[in-house]
Copies of this chain bind each other. A is one copy, B any other.
């Protein structure tokens, strides 16, 4: 790994039954213990909480989205601030994506919905054209035309300065045929190669590049894409593109894709953050996850709860009338600031009164919950009980 002198990926524990593992992922901004969850500071700011509050609940890593930042305030702006770490006052590991996901997401009228198989989402299309060079699109802010190429994505991500960065790919939608998926995958491979070349050209050792495995729901394509990424000099690998329509299909595709991927590289699953999805991903060898889910859910009144105690339900809606008089905390065993000090009824009231503190408190809880979930997963991998735990989860 001579291209990544300041990065290290050491697998420290392996579950004897599944593919779950613990690792230490060393970056210039500290060593991340995995499995870990990456929280979304989408536009270069956590929504509802400060980065200091993120540190207080021991969040280990955050990401920012290149797409949003390049449009506003622009990567030069961030560069003049000394990079994202400095601008956001975050001294722990950080990731940026390539910008591709949102271009195609907004472009196709909602890939986030599209790749998850949801139809009828009416988001204005801003993608103008994809060609061999890159993607033409309009800024959702001012309508200005942009052209994002693999080289440009890497240059922007260099200016942003996150530790872990992603090669540009096309995030292939769900409702396309195999032929489109294959062509798109092959173009993504060429874009990823160009991303890597651009990366290596000015590599200062402060960032590490992940390749992305495409191929949609097709095993032969996922296998080819895994082989491609595995042969190139990427530090890590991420699973992108469509994972099918339903939760079960997603688990199957993650499992199938993981079976073809290298076992000695840090492995990220893009955009997935459900609790059972994380257990399943870890069982298949995923090291890191990201999703807006925990923090977005919080702003809408959702508090994460232990599904083992809640008949599989992963969250409660604090706005529900049944919490109006409940003076207990969301989870009395939770050590977060929200649960230690505030009642369900109070938070219910805050949402009713449109006081933003409600969303802030639930964000703190949900972040603390996800941090604890990752710790619990690491702990049961280390003590050898992960396989048993997940069998119980699959049976219940």
Contact = CB atoms under 8 A, between A and B. Distances in A.
B45 A350 contact: yes
A72 B80 CA distance: 47
Contact of A353 (B43, B81, B349): B43
A354 to B, nearest CB: 9
A48 B50 CA distance: 11
A45 B87 contact: no
Nearest to A349: B73
A237 interface: no
Interface residues of A, number: 34
A68 B353 CA distance: 10
Q: Which of A345, A350, A357, A360 has the most CB of B within 10 A?
A: A357
Interface in A40-75: 43-48, 50, 52, 68, 72-73
Contacts of A72: 349, 352-353
Contacts of A349: 44, 72-73, 77
A210 to B, nearest CB: 26
A358 B50 CA distance: 10
A146 interface: no
Interface of A: 43-48, 50, 52, 68, 72-73, 77, 80-81, 87, 89, 325, 327, 337, 341-343, 345-346, 349-350, 352-353, 355-358, 360-361
5 contacts: A44-B349, A47-B357, A50-B361, A73-B353, A89-B342
